[in-house]
Chain A
Amino acid sequence: MAVVRDDVMPVRSSDDIVRVRQEVRARAIEIGLSLVDQTKIVTAASELARNTLDYGGGGTARLEIVHEGMRRGLRLTFEDEGPGIPDIALALKDGWTSGKGLGLGLSGARRLSNEFTLDSRPGEGTRVTIVRWS
C-alpha cells in the first residue's frame, strides 16, 4: 500500500473537529468517493474526532490518501494519550458509553468504514484507524 498524501491535524477543540471534517471531505472528493461514501467517512471522522477530544483529552487526526493496486482509499488515524479503553469489546457495543454520549461513536464509525482497527492501552492512550476505499 502506497501513501501518496499524509497530513496530521490537531484535535484539541470543538473547532478542530469542524476543520477535520472539512479536510476529510476534501480528500474524499479528491479520491473520487461517491456522495454517500463521502458522507459516511466524514460522519465516521466526526464521531472519532469527538471521541479523541471528549474521552482522550485531545490528540491528533492523520489523513492519508493510499493506493493499493487500482483502488484508492482514505485512511484516517485518530490518536490520543488519554486514559485508554479498559474493555474494547464493551466499548464497541452499540449504546455503551463511559460518558454522556449515545455510545454510537466507535460502533457507528466501524459500520461506516471498510476497515477498522482499534488499539488501546489503559493509561497510555487510544488509536483508531479507519479506511474507506473508492
Chain B
Amino acid sequence: MDRIPILKMGDALLITIQVDMHDRLALALEEDLTAKIAATRAKGVLIDISSLEIVDSFIGRMLDNIAAVSRMLDADTVVVGMRPAVAITLVELGLSLTGVKTALNVERGMLLIQKRLRGLGDFSGRRS
C-alpha cells in the first residue's frame, strides 16, 4: 500500500501531499503521523498541499482530523501552499477549515511554528 512520506525538519514534521488522496491513504497518514509525533516529540506539523488541484470535503475533513489529533499530542498543524482557486472554492463549498492554521508557504508555516515554540518558552518562563 502507498504511504505518504513524513519528513522531520527541526521541531516540526513536514508532509507533502502530492497524490490524489483516497480513504485508505488518508487513514494511513493519520496513523503514521500520530506515531511519528509521539516518536519524535515534534511540536509542529506542516502539511504542504501546493500540489493539490482541489480540496473537497473529504480532504478538508482529513486536514481537520489531523489538526485535532496533533493538537491532542501537543503539536500545532499548519496547512501551507493552498492554491488561490482552491481557497475560493473551499469557502464557497462551505468549508473554511476553522480548526486549521494556514500559511502561504512552507517557510512561513515554519516561522509560525517557531513563533509558537518561542511564545510557549516565554510563557512557561514567566509562570515559573
Binding site for B on A (CB under 8 A): 14-15, 17-18, 21, 25, 35-36, 38-40, 42-43, 46-47, 50, 94, 101-102, 104-105, 107-108, 111-112
B3 at the interface (CB under 8 A from A): no
The answer to whether A40 touches B92 (Cβ under 8 A) is yes
The answer to whether B57 touches A42 (Cβ under 8 A) is no
Please give the distance in Å from A6's CB to the nearest CB on chain B. Answer: 24
Report which of A15, A18, A36 forms a contact with B88, defined as CB distance below 8 A: A36
- List the 4 shortest-distance A-B pairs measured between CB atoms, nearest first: A14-B22, A108-B93, A39-B85, A46-B56
Report which of A21, A101, A111 forms a contact with B20, defined as CB distance below 8 A: A21
Please give the distance in Å from A93's CB to the nearest CB on chain B. Answer: 11
B interface, over-half SS: helix
10 sampled A-B residue pairs with Cβ under 8 A: A14-B23, A36-B85, A39-B83, A40-B88, A43-B55, A47-B56, A50-B56, A102-B57, A102-B60, A111-B93
| Number of chain B residues whose Cβ lies closer than 8 Å to a Cβ of chain A | 22
Please give the distance in Å from A103's CB to the nearest CB on chain B. Answer: 9
> Which B residues touch A107, using CB under 8 A?
94
A interface, over-half SS: helix
The answer to whether A39 touches B89 (Cβ under 8 A) is yes
The answer to whether A43 touches B93 (Cβ under 8 A) is yes
Tell me the bound Cα distance from A94 to B94 in angstroms. Answer: 8
Tell me the bound Cα distance from A43 to B57 in angstroms. Answer: 9
